[in-house]
Structure 1
Amino acid sequence: MSADYNNISLQSGSPAPLGATLTAEGINFAVYSSGAVKIELCLFDAAGTQELARIALPERTENVWHGFLPTPQGIAGVVYGYRAYGPFDVTYGLRYNGAKLLVDPYARALTGKFVWDDALLGSTPSGDASLPETLSPVDSAPFNAKGQVVDSTFDWGDDRPPATPWRDTVIYELHVKGFTKLHPRVPERLRGTYLGLAQPQVIDYLKHLGISAVELLPVQAFVPERFLANKGLVNYWGYSSLAWFAPANQYAVSDAVSEFKTMVKALHAAGIEVILDVVFNHTVEGGETGPTLSLRGLDNASYYKLEKTDLRHYVNRSGTGNTIAIAHQAMRAMIIDCLKYWVEEMHVDGFRFDLAAVLGRENGRFRTDATFFKELAAEPSLRYVKLIAEPWDVGPDGYQLGHFPSAWAEWNDLYRDTMRGFWRANPGILGNFAERFAGSSDLFRNTGRRPTASINYVACHDGFALYDVTAYNDKHNEANLEDNRDGHNHNLSWNCGIEGPTEDEQVVELRERQIRNMLATVLLSQGVPMLLAGDEFGRTQRGNNNAYCQDNEISWVDWKLAERRTWLTTFVRQLLTLRRRAPGLRRDTFLKGARQVDREHKDVSWRHPLGHELNAADWHDVNARALGVLIGQAFTDPHGTPNGHLLFLCNAGAQPVDFKLPAPVTGAVWQIVFDTARWRANDLGNRIAAGENCVVAAHSCVLLADGDAPLSVRSGFSLT
């Protein structure tokens, strides 16, 4: 039964903290709005379908409106929203409309069904661009979501952040729903949920694979854009935020907040960090023709960046219709409050910021020392969390790879493009391969950063899955219902001779080899590796490179493939085991090509198949498709003394290449660790003496270790 809100009044309450704060005495409500003349608190029944009361917030402190609802009405579970009254004049960027129910931007949970309807629009277009919009008087409450007051009590036990150093981090990007929706060992009612991801069998898989951090696609409460809903589609990825503090109900059985915490606690117990992909560049309210759901109705001109020459229109740096006003103090404060909430209350370990260049824009230009970055760095509780930038937006001067502050890491799409291009045999790419493999010092060294600033990947949620990089030359996005116009065309993919599925054994084997090549390259490179969920066993999206709206088998991880391709998953697990055992693959400093203490080899040298180090002519040979990477002192002995070397031989060409091997450490020989062209062969571990040749098959790579490398590293790549 719903609470009795008859004849109640609000006490004055406090302007801080913002949001709905539950205490033993009741609930404090506080919301920012600089231009409103009245803010009403609207209270609903438990289902969010019936509005039971409207009560004006009684106090205003500067630009914060606040009031206190005492017990017995002010208890956990209260369902609420706001109505903001004030001037509606779009020529000044003012869009107040008391007919529209507004979601509290600080709501910790949402409830009620969201339904697209014209009632959600705050205004009605005039039909003439020269004439102003008119106020829409239709009540939107029946169609909008509502906030719900939560009791934050949770038994965290001895939970603590794994605090994995960047050099030891291996990121696994996954979608909460898609990862377990088809998982046969997850109870059916939990598949596709936070609790599904918390299941021991799921966590054991991640741990056994060698993952140290999961990066979750957006879990901030979101709703699909209207154009998708009209097509019967959804925003599956979740980049259409409505409430940044609230975990998405789509992935909950009944209580999103407590179930999210349960998931984090379970992952932490296994030593796995949780990184959230957060969307602080735009919201689902879109441009001027979009709905009034929350920020637009509370304080449009403070929360969104408007065109200076015409305040009716929104600056669009996100490609979705609007851009948050990072220059406004209220917006910056809300984002930092939100990050603190997810760290302090929800125990997450880091954030990947979607279109992060938006956050560094001041006066239209990106700045490494932008105010937001400085304010973020000043927050004690955020000082040691992992911060990852998607280092671009769609505005002018939007590509900012390598320009984020020193504490940040960045998605390195140049790494992705270079490695895809190398393995499909693009010409003139040896120098780029070397720079990316060695940690991208050209991007990060000048700002005093480390190789770990580079997040290395060859596939992520946006674009082809790794298998599709080897199976499709062209995108196949017809299921998105945009006539295959969406998604980018520059995929740097190669279908190995046949477009799409095939039973041709030679093509199938070549695709598998190419997958191994790219996975090996990522996991042996300097920097922080990131894998896309399912790539370790060849998951496919059927050629769709923009599956943001595909909440179906196109996007869900197919665990039957994992059962059929255990050899590939084993390869990835063994590579990650090798990476953990070889400190030389996880350096905190850039490779310099400097002599090591054994004076036999440099920390890295780039080898020609004829046996010499690459010279200027070799680097500029556009026909070259093969090179070797000699990594000095890759291992340490039990006393911590550096020893052992790795030799990574890569041949992207269509013909076998004989590599003359350099001298190993004195008194030792080279031993094959793996050969991606002969993975099922029984002669791995063969010894090859210095000066002899190692034949590297077409489209393949071979890794060798010298005699001082630990035996467990070499034998770890057995087929048993």
Structure 2
Amino acid sequence: MIDDKKRQPAAKKASSVQITAAYEGEDLGVTLGENLCVFKVWSPAAVQMQVLLYPPLTGESSDEHSEQMKQQVMPMQSNEQGVWILDLAGEWRGYRYMFRPTFANGTSTTAVDPYARAVTMNGEMGVIVDMEQTHPEAWHEDQRPELHHATDAVLYELHVRDFSIHPSSGIVNKGKYLAFTETGLRDEAGHTLGIDHLAELGITHVHLMPVFDFATVDEASVNDHMHDASNYNWGYDPLHYNVPEGSYASRADEPETRIREFKSMIAALHRKGIGVIMDVVYNHTFDTAGSSFEKLVPGYYYRQHADGTYSNGSGTGNEVATERAMVRKFIIDSVRFWAEQYHVDGFRFDLMGLMDITTMKQLASELHTRVSPSILLYGEPWGALESPLADEMILKGTQRGAGFAVFNDNFRGVIKGDSDGDGKGFATGEEGKAADLWTGVQGSIHDFAEAPAETINYVTVHDNLNLWDKVARTQGLQEVLGFLQYNEDGSLKGCSSVEEAVRKANPYLQVDPHDVLGNETVRRCLLANGIVLTSQGIPLIAAGDELLRSKYGDMNSHQSGDMVNAIHWEQKQRFKPVFDYYRGLIQLRREHPAFRLRTREAIEQYVCLLHQEEGLLAYELQGAAVEDIWQRIVVIYNAAMRARLIPIPSGVWNVAVEDGRVDAHSLRTVQDRQNGYYGENGKIKVKGLSMTILYSV
């Protein structure tokens, strides 16, 4: 779902160009050779094309600045398949460049290279860069973390700035890529912080919200201190797809710095055994008429209605025509570039419903055969508004056997209810959800998925209320806890600023610091993500869930600034039992293959329903059949407030998870005729609002 800015009407009119042949080469943009620089740009409608060259910026005096703005104009030659080419002898690294197309009607414009690998501050010009010169130390030794199968992954969605900007992070490079390179950080109680926290938590992949160059943050005025919402964004407003965002670099005015520091972040995470997923937004661009796509090939890169107006399936003013040959090529080239040059381990596609199924299938095939079979691909199987793509849209079910996964909003809704309102689900107290929950627990193979690797299981991500705030809302606590409230015109109720509203809020008012796990909101949150982490499929949790992160009831914090979005690391000490629970469940999942089966057949054979009633689901995993060291595993979800006696198979059982605690060895042992726990009636007592996991060996 796109929340990067208010929905915009579609652009009024688009001229179109008929394309008879697509370019098949893999060298669009700038290619450097020995004492040679080759420029190639695709613009079949142009009758003339020029390269505009400018000397490198040095940040010196105004006199030197005027020298740096001197322009050299180089004519390009028309080549086959609509490509223009210029071979330029000499050393041009660091020079800035633009393309100037001229069309048959005499109009001319300037455009940044869509294939640019480096740009100046705020993306105003392309920069010639030698990628080999941007490597951090030991980059050639960098290795992708091993991932044998997609269902082995545990994903963690995170915004770069949110990760480190709060003073309690202890991080020096606040809000930057380099924050991920800082190790050995601990709070006053000795708890790990930063990247060490991620490693301790046990996740396999960090899913980074957009880190390509986006438009709405001014890179010239970003600081490393918490500030208001004036210069903050999630990044779903693409500017340059093949360049790292500059506001997360220590020097946005040094084109190579952002590249080197991005690679340093990747390498640091890889050293911790953590892969990196990029959130990519190929479904729309920030601008339409002003985009490089439209300037170079008017009317080609965007979908249009029959009357020539731009379609607006993204809700942000345009939608990219992924089904057209050169658009498809650009997307595949771009994704491969990040996977090969930056060692990125996977991609999450924003509003993937607006991408045609042929493009995604071809992209998956190329990445898995030409780069690495372990690369994860997944996205949102919906659009924001109606699209002319229609039957070619990627919706739940179209991903079957295609090599990528989709977000499972069916399961999400069953677990928590609606996204922003009072609506409830299984974990938040709604009755009649156990049967649908069972469908999701089985990897949705009887819903829309051919295999469990095709479903991304989650309850919340960056969009909408986060988990703590959603659960609190279902309990009617938003006013008691002081959540942000807005008037119809968007202004805050009762406060003059977000900062004031946050200071007044008290999201944890009802949590007893001496009995954190006894709080109802806490228990419902743990049950919700407990279901996610124990179900078949690929689990994803939102950053800070393990710290009971709150956004003070903000349903759409894309521009709400650090006060709302920053992760408060002091909450690790405050809510340590919650962190321990998440860490324990992730460890349990990673150590036991029964929780991450790979095929429909295995799920149908070895995941068996034991008991189902209002607010309760119990099932068995046959571990021995899938080479798990646990022979039999029983999982019980109790969403009722009261404790219940649940029938389980006869035998000796070790309790690994119970009442908000996890011990992969055993919390205790129960067996037949042990009254009070597992009596002669063959039942075990399960606490209210909790998950219980038992195993036999």
TM-score tier, shorter chain, comes to 0.7 to 0.9
Q: Which residue of 1 aligns with 2:498?
A: none
Are residues 404 and 15 of structure 1, via their aligned partners in 2, closer, same or farther at CA, if it must alter by over 3 Å?
closer
Q: Which residue of 2 aligns with 1:502?
A: 509
Letter in 2 for 1:503: Q
Helix, strand or coil at the partner of 1:253? coil
1:323 to 306, 319, 322: 319
Q: Deviations over 1:499-557 (max 9, x none)?
A: 95533649971111112211211111111111111111111111112111123121121
Are residues 411 and 15 of structure 1, via their aligned partners in 2, closer, same or farther at CA, if it must alter by over 3 Å?
closer
Letter in 2 for 1:381: R
Task: Output the CA distance in 1 between the equivalents of 2:366 and 2:662.
Answer: 50
Q: Which residue of 2 aligns with 1:276?
A: 278
Task: Output the CA distance in 2 between the equivalents of 1:23 and 1:660.
Answer: 71
Task: Output the CA distance in 2 between the equivalents of 1:333 and 1:32.
Answer: 11
TM-superposed CA distance for 1:235, in Å, is: 5.8
Question: Does the aligned pair in 2 maintain the 1:15–1:65 contact within 8 Å?
Answer: no
TM-superposed CA distance for 1:37, in Å, is: 2.2
Correspondence 1:38 to 2:48: yes
Q: Which residue of 2 aligns with 1:518?
A: 528
Letter in 2 for 1:148: V
Q: TM-score, normalised by structure 1?
A: 0.76
TM-superposed CA distance for 1:589, in Å, is: 2.0
TM-superposed CA distance for 1:676, in Å, is: 2.6
Question: Does the aligned pair in 1 maintain the 2:285–2:291 contact within 8 Å?
Answer: no
1:566 to 576, 598, 605: 576
Q: Deviations over 1:596-649 (max 9, x none)?
A: xxxxxxx233233xxxxx5xxx6xxxxx1222122222697xxx5765222222
Correspondence 1:415 to 2:411: yes
TM-superposed CA distance for 1:249, in Å, is: 0.6
Q: Which fold has the larger relative contact order, with Cα–Cα distance below 8 Å and residues 6 or more apart in sequence? A: 2
Task: Output the CA distance in 1 between the equivalents of 2:371 and 2:52.
Answer: 34
Q: Deviations over 1:297-326 (max 9, x none)?
A: 1112121112222x2x21111111111121
Are residues 307 and 577 of structure 1, via their aligned partners in 2, closer, same or farther at CA, if it must alter by over 3 Å?
same
Are residues 203 and 416 of structure 1, via their aligned partners in 2, closer, same or farther at CA, if it must alter by over 3 Å?
same
Q: Which residue of 1 aligns with 2:422?
A: none
Question: Does the aligned pair in 2 maintain the 1:635–1:645 contact within 8 Å?
Answer: no
Question: Does the aligned pair in 1 maintain the 2:656–2:662 contact within 8 Å?
Answer: no
Correspondence 1:297 to 2:299: no
1:693 to 675, 683, 686: 683
Letter in 2 for 1:41: V
Q: Which moved more, 1:374-383 or 1:554-563?
A: 374-383
Correspondence 1:191 to 2:195: no
Matches within 5 A, 1:121-160: 145-153=124-132, 154=135, 155-160=138-143
1:67 to 83, 86, 92: 86
Q: Which residue of 2 aligns with 1:646?
A: 633
1:170 to 154, 165, 183: 154
Task: Output the CA distance in 2 between the equivalents of 1:513 and 1:467.
Answer: 10
Larger radius of gyration: 1
Letter in 2 for 1:674: V
Task: Output the CA distance in 1 between the equivalents of 2:598 and 2:360.
Answer: 27
Helix, strand or coil at the partner of 2:447? helix
Question: Does the aligned pair in 1 maintain the 2:217–2:247 contact within 8 Å?
Answer: no
Helix, strand or coil at the partner of 2:533? helix
RMSD: 3.2
Q: Which moved more, 1:475-484 or 1:175-184?
A: 475-484
TM-superposed CA distance for 1:694, in Å, is: 2.4
Q: Which residue of 2 aligns with 1:216?
A: 208
Q: Which residue of 1 aligns with 2:444?
A: 440
Q: Which residue of 2 aligns with 1:676?
A: 659
Task: Output the CA distance in 2 between the equivalents of 1:195 and 1:481.
Answer: 40
TM-superposed CA distance for 1:213, in Å, is: 0.9
Correspondence 1:105 to 2:89: no
Helix, strand or coil at the partner of 1:671? strand
Matches within 5 A, 1:380-419: 380-382=369-371, 384=373, 385-394=375-384, 395=386, 400-406=395-401, 407-419=403-415
Q: How many residues align?
A: 592
Q: Deviations over 1:659-709 (max 9, x none)?
A: 233213xxxx223323236889xx942524264432223322222223x1x
Task: Output the CA distance in 1 between the equivalents of 2:624 and 2:198.
Answer: 25
1:430 to 427, 434, 452: 434
Identical amino acids, percent of aligned pairs: 29
Question: Does the aligned pair in 1 maintain the 2:117–2:129 contact within 8 Å?
Answer: yes
Question: Does the aligned pair in 2 maintain the 1:452–1:588 contact within 8 Å?
Answer: yes
Q: TM-score, normalised by structure 2?
A: 0.78
Task: Output the CA distance in 2 between the equivalents of 1:678 and 1:381.
Answer: 44
Question: Does the aligned pair in 2 maintain the 1:86–1:97 contact within 8 Å?
Answer: yes
Task: Output the CA distance in 1 between the equivalents of 2:631 and 2:622.
Answer: 7
Task: Output the CA distance in 1 between the equivalents of 2:693 and 2:363.
Answer: 46
Task: Output the CA distance in 2 between the equivalents of 1:577 and 1:650.
Answer: 19
1:58 to 62, 76, 83: 76
Task: Output the CA distance in 1 between the equivalents of 2:561 and 2:486.
Answer: 11
Letter in 1 for 2:442: A
1:483 to 473, 487, 490: 490
Q: Which residue of 2 aligns with 1:605?
A: 608
Q: Which residue of 1 aligns with 2:99?
A: 82
Q: Which residue of 2 aligns with 1:544?
A: 554
Are residues 148 and 591 of structure 1, via their aligned partners in 2, closer, same or farther at CA, if it must alter by over 3 Å?
same
Q: Deviations over 1:378-431 (max 9, x none)?
A: 464246222112111122556711312521111111121111111112222111
Task: Output the CA distance in 2 between the equivalents of 1:606 and 1:39.
Answer: 66
Are residues 684 and 246 of structure 1, via their aligned partners in 2, closer, same or farther at CA, if it must alter by over 3 Å?
same
Unaligned runs of 5+ in 2: 1-23, 60-64, 185-193, 222-227, 252-256, 417-424, 493-504, 673-677
